[in-house]
């Protein structure tokens, strides 16, 4: 009985001791998200028939605006071909290393990258440049329902841009598509060049052949500056013209009539037509490079639902020999084929 009483009396003391222990700070400092991170070498290297370059950086911390990268400006960058050619890339602008003038990569050749950073040597696995595929380009008027930040549905106008191939596609073909554009402001006459590096699409020959089609939707291109939707408000007021005349590519038969009819509000300045030159760029990829970019594209398409693909570590083709050290990025060899398509727009007011 006395033993039971002693244990009962000891309980408050043990409770106090446990509370003090839990509340006493340990020796380990709190985790600092902006200070404690793993720093990796990050390499973005491309050898193409339309320009080559290698970008070398250190990965870094993260803030609310962007990932912090530290340029590496004193690296030694070398590209070798299996045919025995050896090229040293020079840094002319910060951490962007460019090839010498006599560097002229060709389809069918295999290339290797070597980057020396301090006492560390980074190598790439071999990349063979697969010949590009000739293609034709068409653009068809299309509508898309999109949701705004307030979750309200809006109809946007644009074009489905489709590539069709002039010959059969091998099963082992892997392609990456991106686009850029050039246009001149019809009122200010300022030239604009737009590059969309983060927007791209992928295609494999096996997927296309399995679908039994010879055309591939490269992208949906929304109307430049939403000028069609603005012009439409004025164009509806014009008599004897169908609504379709104001959306999509203008025809020689209707464009002047529309231009003459659309004017600025409380102004006599006529609306002006301008041309947007859309440049679609096809790059061939190795199967390894296709897998790498497909992982990135999958993450970009995630919408924040439980059905999203889980975040993955992108498997590149760069490594430090005889170590398990991680090197981020990819080195690719790409043959490039480009086509241009002209889209016609109306600007109904000065922007």
pLDDT tens figures, 78-95: 999 999 999 999 998 789
- DSSP summary character for residue 226: G
pLDDT on residue 341: 85
Domain ranges of the chain: 41-129, 135-284+338-347
Query: Which helix (H) or strand (E) element contains residue 280?
Result: strand 272-284
**142 and 78 Cβ atoms separated by less than 8 Å:** no
**Spans of the chain, pLDDT less than 50:** 1-36, 64, 226-252, 263-266, 303, 305-308, 310, 350-351
- DSSP summary character for residue 82: T
Residue with tokens 């490269």: 218
pLDDT on residue 322: 92
Separation CA 54–CA 89 (nearest Å): 8
Residue with tokens 């190598």: 123
Spelled out in words, what is the top-level CATH class assigned to the domain 41-129?
Answer: mainly beta
Per-residue b or e along 162-193, where b marks 16 or more CB atoms closer than 10 Å to that residue's CB:
bbebeeebeeebbbbbbbebebeebeeeeeee
Tell how strand 53-58 and strand 96-98 pair up.
Answer: antiparallel
Q: What is the rounded radius of gyration, in angstroms, for the C-alpha atoms of the chain?
A: 29
Name the pTM for this structure.
0.71
Separation CA 231–CA 186 (nearest Å): 14
pLDDT on residue 336: 95
* Cβ neighbourhood burial of 240 (10 Å; 0-12, 13-18, 19+): exposed
Q: If we measure between CA atoms, which residue out of 61, 156, 51, 65 comes closest to residue 97?
A: 51
């Amino acid at each position: 009985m006395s033993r039971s009483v002693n244990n009962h009396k000891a309980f408050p003391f043990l409770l106090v001791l446990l509370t003090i222990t839990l509340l006493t700070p340990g020796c380990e400092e709190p985790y600092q998200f902006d200070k404690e991170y793993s720093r990796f070498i990050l390499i973005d290297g491309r050898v193409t028939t339309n320009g080559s370059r290698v970008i070398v950086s250190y990965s870094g911390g993260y803030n609310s605006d962007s990932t912090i990268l530290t340029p590496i400006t004193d690296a030694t960058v070398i590209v070798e071909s299996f045919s025995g050619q050896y090229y040293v890339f020079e840094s002319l602008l910060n951490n962007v290393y460019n090839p010498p003038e006599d560097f002229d990569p060709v389809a069918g050749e295999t290339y290797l990258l070597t980057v020396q950073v301090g006492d560390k040597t980074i190598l790439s696995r071999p990349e063979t440049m697969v010949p590009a595929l000739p293609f034709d380009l068409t653009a068809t008027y299309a509508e898309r329902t999109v949701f705004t930040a307030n979750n309200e549905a809006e109809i946007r106008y644009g074009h489905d841009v489709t590539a069709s191939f002039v010959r059969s596609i091998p099963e082992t073909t892997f392609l990456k598509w991106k686009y850029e554009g050039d246009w001149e402001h019809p009122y200010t006459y300022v030239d604009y060049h737009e590059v969309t590096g983060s927007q791209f699409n992928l295609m494999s020959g096996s997927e296309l052949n399995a679908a039994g089609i010879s055309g591939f939707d490269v992208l949906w291109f929304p109307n430049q500056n939403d000028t069609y939707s603005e012009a439409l408000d004025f164009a509806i007021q014009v008599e004897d013209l169908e609504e379709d005349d104001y959306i999509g590519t203008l025809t020689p038969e209707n464009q002047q009539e529309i231009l003459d009819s659309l004017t600025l509000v409380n102004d006599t300045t006529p609306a002006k037509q301008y041309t947007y030159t859309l440049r679609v760029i096809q790059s061939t990829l190795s199967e390894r490079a296709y897998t790498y970019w497909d992982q990135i594209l999958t993450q970009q398409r995630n919408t924040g639902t439980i059905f999203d693909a889980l975040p993955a570590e992108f498997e590149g083709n760069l490594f430090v020999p005889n170590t398990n050290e991680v090197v981020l990025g990819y080195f690719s060899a790409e043959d490039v084929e480009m086509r241009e398509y002209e889209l016609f727009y109306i600007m109904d007011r000065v922007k």
